[in-house]
Structure 1
Amino acid sequence: MLPSTWKGVWDAGYNKVLYPYANNDLTARTHDGYLKAAREALRKSNGGKEVAVDGIKGLSSLLQIFNYPTQIIYDFMHLVCLGHIPSLINRWCTRIDKNTILKIDNKLQQLRIPHNMKVVFLESIKMAWQWKAKNSRLFVLHVGLLHAPQTKEEILLAERLLDFYCRTASNVHNSSIEIFSLHAHLHLAYQVRQHGGLAHMSAFAFQSAIRYIKKKARGCIRLASQIAYWVDMRRVTQSNKFSLPKECLMNVSRNKTDLKKYIVTIKLIHNRLFCP
């Protein structure tokens, strides 16, 4: 769902929906607007075929959890690394000769990369659409000057550069580049201001941890329930480290004061063991 009221236009020539920059009215959508469109779609459907209003087909329980669109973020991995960059590189390759492509391939293969990154460019740049996300990320962020914007002024500069890029992309290539994945770049700077750096909210972290999650499920039935069950089991059986207070080593006599101290100590140990 778009975070703005900008509507796409079907282009029969390219057989895709385009979002021409010239049509952008810069009007942001609101949570109330989403709810209104969802209720209108529900009313028009009237129990029959689903009808979409402004791209929304009806009410969702997620509308009660998230604030649309400010809390619905774009994933840097899929939007940029797996979406726009391979498409853009393919366009570049149609404009350069074979010798230039060969030089680029050789430079990529000769890169000396830290061992913990584990990124190897096996395919030619002409096959960028077959690259994994980590290859595209390395190509975008690390092949060349590396700089991480931190100040508001730098984020504003990046926003202006992205705006210029989206505004002029169709002049460099053609209007077929103005698809949703290009338009979405206009919202990245606002997203960084709201939620922090793109690296902290991308799917890369999940992709790295998914192999551990997959070990908790077998087959293809009720995967979420299986994962939740084994996570609960681990939390129940995992022991917490604790240190015994010195008082637990004392000799207990029939003295009432000593018995009270003993009872308090036993309760303390019980709480640390079974009530984390």
Structure 2
Amino acid sequence: MRILFAVFDLPTRSHLLNIIQYNGYNGRGNCKIPGNSVNKQVRFPYSETDYATKDHQFYVETGRQALLHHNIAEIKGTTPLFDILLLPVMVPFDEMHLVYIGHFKTLIKYWDSMFSKVFQEASTFLSSIILPHVLLTDFTQWKAKMFRAFFLFAAAPFAVFYLPDRFANHFLKYFVFIRSLHYYHSKPHHLELKELIKEYQKDMSVLHGKSSELATSHYHSHLIQQVHDLGGLALTSCFVRESFLADTLKMVSW
């Protein structure tokens, strides 16, 4: 059997890598950028520096040392998966949890708190959109598939029509970045995408405060390399597996 990759949500990914938590000071999983605490919240400020990456050898050697010293760099120890998976390359970030019900959902909450009437004004717009899934005007009731449908097909015009220009321009950088990586087939524009996500992350705390510089925001820095290694984000998503499990449960007779 040949294993291509193993994809999970962020907490489970941390368990798979045998680290303390996915948003710990040294628990990002892919690089060595240090975190710091603001009001008891660990954040990862934007930096022009490209920090050293964590490769498979780092996990193996640090994991062995951690067995003797409880944990090192928030790695708790070794795992049998070291022998069948190349870490962290074969443990990609899941588009479903990182983007749609992760960072994008957080963005919508920011918009709702900062511009309280935005979704009220956009209710007609939302209810008139023809998408694979019906969008409820109350985004707090949305499921992952609704966040995905809204993001991929309607979020750009929504931002342009209903958000202040500064916030709309900021979001469009993120939209183009994710939309470009969703079905990614070639590498000619990877440098442009790298600059795009840097500009987005740089302005994140300016528009939404320092508390917005979360691990989920930083993880986007690694998505370009991920799609180079494994293909578009749509190909390393939990949506297929989640849909399969849901359909299987429907077929089960209790």
The equivalent of 1:223 in structure 2 is: none
| Cα distance per residue 1:170-196 (max 9 Å; x no partner) | 111111011111010111111011100
- When structure 1 is superposed on structure 2, of 210-219 and 72-81 the one drifting more is 210-219
Q: CA deviation at 1:75?
A: 0.2
Q: Unaligned stretches of 5+ in structure 1?
A: 45-50, 220-276
Distance 2:67 2:252 in 1: 37
Q: 1:4 is aligned with what amino acid?
A: C
Change (3 A) 1:154 1:104: farther
Task: State the alpha-carbon separation in 1 of the partners of residues 86 and 239 from structure 2.
Answer: 24
State the percentage of identical aligned residues. 30
**Residue of structure 2 equivalent to 1:105:** 123
Residue type at the aligned position of 2:136: L
Structure number with larger C-alpha Rg: 1
SS in 2 for 1:187: helix
Matched position secondary structure for 1:94: helix
Structure 1 equivalent of residue 82 of structure 2: 63
Equivalent in 225, 228, 235 of residue 190 of structure 1:
225
**Amino acid corresponding to residue 162 of structure 1 in structure 2:** I
Counterpart-to-counterpart distance in 2, 1:178 and 1:74: 18
Matches within 5 A, 1:120-199: 120-125=134-139, 127=140, 130-143=141-154, 144=156, 150-199=185-234
Gap change, CA 1:180 and 1:209, over 3 Å in 2? same
- Cα distance in 1 for partners of 2:231, 2:135 equals 30
The residue correspondences of 1:170-249 to structure 2 (distance < 5 A) are 170-214=205-249
Summarize the Cα distance change of 1:57–1:24 in structure 2 as closer, same or farther, 3 Å threshold.
farther
CA contact (8 A) 1:6 1:23 kept: no
Q: TM-score, normalised by structure 2?
A: 0.72
Q: Structure 2: any 5+ residue segments left out of the alignment?
A: 1-27, 158-178
Tell me what 2:108 maps to: 89
Cα distance in 1 between the residues matched to 2:63 and 2:48: 24
Structure 1's 38 and 104: CA in aligned 2 closer, same or farther, altered over 3 A?
A: same
Higher relative contact order (CA 8 A, sep 6+): 2
CA–CA distance in structure 2, aligned partners of residues 218 and 28 of structure 1: 48
Contact 2:63 2:78 in 1 (8 A): yes
Match of 2:168 in 1: none
Alignment correspondent of 1:75:
94
Output the amino acid matched with 1:185: H
Letter in structure 2 aligned against 1:186: S
Query: Could you tell me whether the CA contact under 8 Å between 1:18 and 1:180 is conserved in 2?
Result: yes
State the partner residue of 2:73.
54
> How many residues are aligned here?
203
2:37 alignment partner, SS class: strand
**Separation of aligned partners in 2, 1:72 and 1:154:** 24
Q: Secondary structure, in 3 states, of the residue corresponding to 2:188? A: helix
Secondary structure of the corresponding residue to residue 153 of structure 1: coil
Look up the match of 1:4. 31
